[in-house]
Amino acid sequence: MEPDIENEPQIQVKFVTQQRKYAVADSAILVPAKLRRYGLSEIINHLLGYEKPIPFDFLVDGEFLRTSLSEYLQNARLSTENIITLEYVESMLPPTSLSAYQHDDWVSSVKGHDQGYFLTGSYDNNVRIWNASGECLQTFVGHNAPIKSVAWVSIQDEDIICLSASQDRTIRAWHSSIADKQCDVLYEYRGHKGSIESISISKQEELFSSGSWDSSIRIWTTTTTPDDEDGSDYEFIENEKKRRKISKKKTNSIIAKKSIGILMGHVGPVSSVFFDTKDSAKLYSGGWDYSIRTWDIESRTNVDTKNCDQVVYDIAYSEKSGLIASGHADRAVRLWDPRAEDVAVVKLSLVSHQNWVSAVSWSKNSPFMLASASYDSCVKMWDIRSKSPLYNLRVSDDTNESRKKLLCIDWSKDLILSGGEDNRLHIHSAKKFENPYTKESP
Amino acid sequence: MARGKTYPVTRKRKVAESEFPNQKKKPLNKKETEKNSKSDITNNAKTLSNKKHDVSSKHEKIAGNQIKGHYKYNRNRYQIVNTLGRFDDEDLEEDDDEQSGLWGDENDSDYIAGDSLEDMTRQQKWQPPNTVGNIPMEWYDDYPHIGYDIDGKIIMKPAKGDELDEFLDKMEDPDYWISVKDNLTQQNVKLTDEELDIIRRIQMHEIPDANYNPYEPMVEWFTSKPEVMPLSAAPEPKRRFVPSKWEAKRIMKIVRGIREGRIITRKTQVQKPRFYNLWADSDQPRQDHPMHIPAPKMKLPEHDESYNPPAEYLPTDKEKEEWEQMDSEDREKNYLPQKYSSLRAVPAYGRFIHEHFNRCLDLYLAPRIRRNKLNIDPESLIPKLPNPKDLQPFPTTLTFSYTGHTARIRCFSIDPLGLWLVSGSDDQTIRVWEITTGRCVYTWTVGDIVHSIAWCPNKDVCGFFAAFSNKVAFISPFKLCDEEMYVVTNRYVTAGHNQIQKDDKKKSAHWSQPTEQEKELGYLVILDHSHSKTVKQVTWHRKGDYFATLAPDAGNQGILIHQLTKHQTQQPFRKIKGLIQRVMFHPIKPLFFVATQRYIRIYNLIKQEATKTLQAGVKWISSLDVHPLGDNIIIGSYDKRLCWFDLDLSSRPYKTLRYHSMAIRSVSYHKRFPLFASCSDDGSIQIFHGMVYNDLLQNPLIVPVKILKGGHKVVDSLGVLHCEFHPTQPWIISSGADHQINLWT
């Protein structure tokens, strides 16, 4: 073996990383060209002096190294005499499917909570709370139309307050205590004239916004305000059946709330709203008018508009990277920098999906990790340092020739939750490798 | 006959001759008389009568044109005159004789001497004149006589001398050579000087008569010289001084002809020099003419053609072999370099004739004339169309399908905001779908095939018309609209309910309120046509109040225009020509389009008149759509054609596109983007870029951009039945016979 190594081509590589804790000396090192990810990872671990190896992934020219170095050079037609700069990142473990919770109808919206609860909205007009063991803890019945969006407000000692927005143009705030399996409607938010597509709650949990097909964005409060009125005037509806229903509701004394603010600006249906998780005065929204807008909540003004040429279906803001990701009808995930005010350029465009990207979600732990769900029933995990997806999760069974659309995705903690046309809430674990060294350090 | 003709001539001659011999011969007469008076008085007297008769016989001879005889006659006549003169004029002319004798003495003596001698011999041989006339004398060869004299007595043949006599005569007689034989008398006659002279003149080709003057001065009977005195003294007439009217007329006729161009005057001819220098400009260099092709030049000899080329040019044996094995056409050079020790050793060039022949062929076959070949790149004839990539956005891929129907879907309609889709199918259901997710929100079962469905274009009203059997129902999916909108819709649609009662039964359509059950489902009003034919189409006016229904089989009541708010029905056409395929309202103007099998008629609804008829040139129109700006329409036809009409341009199609392989079922314009589409039984949808410019001078730009295939299966030779663009996005939705509705983005 020894003489073989001597004869094998060697390449000069330079290891760099953006994670300072794993930094090694940035001098060029000669490594055998036949090395793959595993070999290179071993070298880094050796350089760092770790006894328990941490797997690393390597990026060359913005692409993950999935072949040996020599093959990469061959494909890229590079000379072996060049110094190759390899960026290494902590390796993401391949996501594994944990479970799938069956619903009665399409799952249109999902939100996970750090405490291990999952909130789902479904096309059967019901909102459900699940726990990690797959039990449906609570079902909120009351909406007259499919739920389009859900959001957590607070969970305090099994007292859960959550919001659901529906196609029946109302948002409801639900209260539930898991212990006694009781649920009631706190408020009913009325005002929108079209189906509500998206709601987003601010960091302080007092304000939330909703985007609707009537092309308006409304701001609501979660707290009781004096101008709230109970009941509603449904008198104009001649339908007796409906009136009966209304009277029933009246006995429940639902507090109907009106919006405290309205943001008009979109010229088409608003498909998604997202509160800035750092600055609760900032709101981002995307709509069918191909624009992603930044709003100032206090002044109720449209601060910034970024245009592309495709319908925006979902946006997500990452606190860690400060970027907005958006899912589009042209199968692309686009990344925007809201801080760049002067130019409305797309920072990055990630194209790999084969159909509309219906939902996007950032990882809360990493500034680089992103998950997107598409109508092609695929969940893709992206590392935004690379243009190709990191992992590709085929959710629905391949036996069915018509692919089930995925409608929602949420990356909460280590779990990727996705739901869609196949009536199931899919849960995948998306973990980084447990780092024994970093655990001690913080 | 011949005799009678010549007679006057002889008479004339006789007159002419009788004049001058008298004077001339008078002295002769005198001498003769003196001479004869002595010896031959009796003889003379005796011969007188003979001589007188001789005159007539001589006349006979002359008539026979015997010139010899004629002159003989003359002589004889002299004799006659002489003898007569002797008797008649003897006394009278005695004085004259003496006078004349003065000048003619010497001459006479000779003459007399000769004459008398001759007379002597003649008198010896004298015979009476023969009267046989002009007959061949051979007839008398066997007779002893030769004829008869005037008295009918036989004239005996004169004694004919033998050869010896003849010879002696020839030898002795000095006149022998000038004597000829008189055939009539069978005797030799000596020719006189006059006769000889005549002969000579004839021989010399002169006029025989010596006295005839051919150059006599001409008598000018009609003279060219003007008379000094005119024949008429009348003054010159006026017309000599007045320009001729007739000429003026003729000239004017020609002038008119020239003006009108009938007569083309000859151009003034440029005087060409008769001879010119053919090579005058031959020494000047030829002008650079684009068509000039110089004759091909001969290749100049190279080094290796030398008789003694340098060694490096000489081929090796291998090269030689190769060269010889090569086909003569493939050879680079048609010779092999060869080396000779001296020029003397160079043999005659073997290929000389061949090469010169080839050179001649080169010259003669060389293209001396440049052919004007049309060298057009066919690519350049294709109209420059923009790249479809620059014309984005347009739908390119199938996004998903709306599944749920169980039979072919003939129609669907999209709500004006582009959020909901309502479709009607052969499975007798109507479904409402959420466009972005493909979720079926509503389902109604109507109990008949849904032929047409149309969402109300009024954005305040939430609902649509569905046409099934002979009914049209307004259905409102109230879950989709907010309460306010629901109330507005309800009021809007049912406002006319109280007017329904007034309607009498003769109306062509009956508006009715739905039952309670139907109301629960969302039916707001139902329109029953009085005919029992299927309503195939329902279409809205842009404001959402008026709508038209079409039942092609229902004859006059086929096209009805209804007003929703007042629940009224009008029948716009008393008589309907042809089979109506499709009707449509103009998006802006009060116009109404009616597509029959072959024509599209445009009616003005306010003026109530037909304004235009468009001729599509197709066999069977299947569908029609009007551009949102209203100046252009497209039609699809069952014979695979898609025609674009520019209403301002012509009543004929501006463009006819034939790209489908099967019948076109539906055509559609996009309301916002410059797009239009056609769908066909071949299962494909074709997307075109159709830009209409505000500039009237610029024609619409039509570019085919995409063919959407594979979304629909062809079932029972039916493919895509309907297609419609999303009202706000560049998406197209299509429905097919394969029970699917597809969304393409």
Cβ–Cβ below 8 Å for A355 and B400: yes
Cβ–Cβ below 8 Å for A145 and B479: yes
Contacts of B75 (CB under 8 A, 6+ apart): B192
* The model scores a pTM over 0.80: no
CATH no. of A2-90: 3.10.20.90
Give the closest of B400, B486, B728 to A288, CB-based. Answer: B728
Q: What is the mean pLDDT of chain A?
A: 81
Q: Which pLDDT value is given to residue B197?
A: 92
**CA dist., res. B558 & res. B538, Å (int):** 11
Cβ–Cβ below 8 Å for B482 and A239: no
On the question of pLDDT at B393 being above 90, the answer is no
Q: Which pLDDT value is given to residue B249?
A: 96
**Exposure of A86 by Cβ count < 10 A (0-12 exposed, 13-18 middle, 19+ buried)?**
buried
3-class secondary-structure state, position B646: strand
Give the number of A-B residue pairs with CB atoms closer than 8 Å: 59
**CA dist., res. B474 & res. B464, Å (int):** 6
On the question of pLDDT at B592 being above 80, the answer is yes
Q: What's the pLDDT tens digit per position in B534-552?
A: 999 999 998 888 999 999 8
Percentage of chain A modeled with pLDDT above 70: 87
Chain A interface, mutation test: which of B396, B483, B516, B672, most A Cβ atoms within 10 Å?
A: B483
Closest chain B residue by Cα to residue A125: B441
Which of these ranges, A67-71, A405-409, B54-58, B577-581, has the smallest mean pLDDT?
B54-58
**CA dist., res. A68 & res. A32, Å (int):** 10
Q: What's the pLDDT tens digit per position in B480-526?
A: 877 788 888 888 888 877 766 555 556 778 888 888 888 888 888 88
Q: What's the pLDDT tens digit per position in B651-662?
A: 899 999 999 999
H/E stretch holding B336 = none
**CA dist., res. B394 & res. B359, Å (int):** 66
Cβ–Cβ below 8 Å for A236 and B439: no
Q: Which residue has the higher pLDDT, A217 or A343?
A: A217
Which residues of chain B lie closer than 8 angstroms to A405, CB-CB? 400, 437-438
Give the closest of A234, A268, A405 to B437, CB-based. Answer: A405
Query: Torsion angle, CA of A361/A317/A286/B433, rounded to 10 degrees?
Result: 20
Cβ–Cβ below 8 Å for B479 and A195: no
Would you say A199 and A209 are in contact if contact means Cβ atoms under 8 Å apart?
Answer: yes
Q: Which pLDDT value is given to residue A229?
A: 54
Q: Which residues of B touch A (CB under 8 A)?
A: 392-393, 399-401, 403, 417, 419, 436-439, 479-480, 482-487, 490, 519-520, 728-729, 745
Q: Which pLDDT value is given to residue A3?
A: 45
* DSSP per residue, A62-92: TEE--S-HHHHHHHHT--TTSEEEEEEEEPB
Q: Which residue has the higher pLDDT, B169 or B65?
A: B169
The complex's ipTM works out to: 0.84
Residues for chain B: how many in total? 745
Q: What's the pLDDT tens digit per position in A352-398?
A: 888 889 999 998 888 888 999 998 888 998 888 888 888 888 876 65
Q: Which pLDDT value is given to residue B274?
A: 84
Confidence of residue B620 (pLDDT cuts 50, 70, 90): very high
Chain B interface, mutation test: which of A125, A234, A236, A246, most B Cβ atoms within 10 Å?
A: A236
Which residues of chain B lie closer than 8 angstroms to A313, CB-CB? 436
Q: What's the pLDDT tens digit per position in B118-135?
A: 444 444 456 678 888 888
On the question of pLDDT at A441 being above 70, the answer is no
Q: What is the mean pLDDT of chain B?
A: 79
Q: Which residue has the higher pLDDT, A389 or A1?
A: A389
Q: Which pLDDT value is given to residue A243?
A: 44
Q: Which pLDDT value is given to residue B36?
A: 44
How many Å lie between the alpha carbon of B479 and the closest alpha carbon of chain A?
7
On the question of pLDDT at A6 being above 60, the answer is no
The rounded Cα B492 to chain-centroid distance in angstroms is 76
Superfamily of domain covering A96-432: YVTN repeat-like/Quinoprotein amine dehydrogenase (2.130.10.10)
Which residues of chain B lie closer than 8 angstroms to A193, CB-CB? 482, 484-485
Q: What's the pLDDT tens digit per position in B398-449?
A: 888 888 899 999 999 998 888 899 999 999 999 999 888 888 888 999 888 9
Cβ–Cβ below 8 Å for B484 and A169: no
Give the closest of B401, B438, B482 to A193, CB-based. Answer: B482
Q: What's the pLDDT tens digit per position in B454-483?
A: 999 988 888 899 998 888 998 988 888 777
Residues for chain A: how many in total? 442
Give the closest of B403, B417, B745 to A329, CB-based. Answer: B745
Which residues of chain B lie closer than 8 angstroms to A329, CB-CB? 399, 729, 745
Contacts of B496 (CB under 8 A, 6+ apart): B511, B525, B563, B564, B565, B566, B567, B568
Q: Which pLDDT value is given to residue B132?
A: 85
Structure tokens at A94: 């391949």
Domains A2-90 and A96-432 share a fold: no
- Rounded to an integer, the average pLDDT of A73-91 is 82
Percentage of chain B modeled with pLDDT above 70: 81
Q: Which pLDDT value is given to residue A217?
A: 92
**CA dist., res. A164 & res. A146, Å (int):** 10
On the question of pLDDT at B369 being above 70, the answer is no
Closest chain A residue by Cα to residue B731: A329
Would you say B450 and B430 are in contact if contact means Cβ atoms under 8 Å apart?
Answer: yes
Q: Which pLDDT value is given to residue B492?
A: 86
Fill in the amino acid letter for B24: K
- Rounded to an integer, the average pLDDT of A255-278 is 88
Task: Give the Å distances, CA to CA, from B135 to A337, B59, B68, B69, B188.
Answer: 159, 15, 16, 14, 19
Cβ–Cβ below 8 Å for B419 and A194: yes
Q: Which pLDDT value is given to residue A435?
A: 59
Confidence of residue B377 (pLDDT cuts 50, 70, 90): confident
Cβ–Cβ below 8 Å for A169 and B437: no
Q: Shortest CA distance to A389 belongs to which of A350, A433, A349? A: A350
Q: Which residues of A touch B (CB under 8 A)?
A: 106, 108, 123, 144-146, 167-169, 192-195, 213, 234, 236-239, 241, 268-269, 288, 309, 311, 313, 329-330, 355-356, 375, 402, 405, 407, 421
Task: Give the Å distances, CA to CA, from A374 to A351, A363, A380, A428, B283.
Answer: 12, 17, 8, 16, 88
Give the closest of B437, B486, B729 to A407, CB-based. Answer: B437
Chain position carrying tokens 């109404």: B592
User: Domain residues of chain B, as ranges?
Assistant: 2-203
Which residues of chain A lie closer than 8 angstroms to B483, CB-CB? 234, 236-237
How many Å lie between the alpha carbon of A169 and the closest alpha carbon of chain B?
7
Cβ–Cβ below 8 Å for A194 and B437: no
Percentage of chain A modeled with pLDDT above 90: 12
- Rounded to an integer, the average pLDDT of B212-233 is 81
User: Domain residues of chain A, as ranges?
Assistant: 2-90, 96-432
How many Å lie between the alpha carbon of B369 and the closest alpha carbon of chain A?
56
Phi, psi dihedrals of residue B198, rounded to the nearest 5°: -60, -45
- Rounded to an integer, the average pLDDT of B156-174 is 84
On the question of pLDDT at A119 being above 60, the answer is yes
The rounded Cα A312 to chain-centroid distance in angstroms is 14
Q: What's the pLDDT tens digit per position in A203-258?
A: 887 888 999 988 899 998 887 665 555 444 444 344 444 444 444 444 456 778 88
Which residues of chain B lie closer than 8 angstroms to A169, CB-CB? 482
Give the closest of B392, B401, B484 to A402, CB-based. Answer: B401
Q: Which residue has the higher pLDDT, B101 or B604?
A: B604
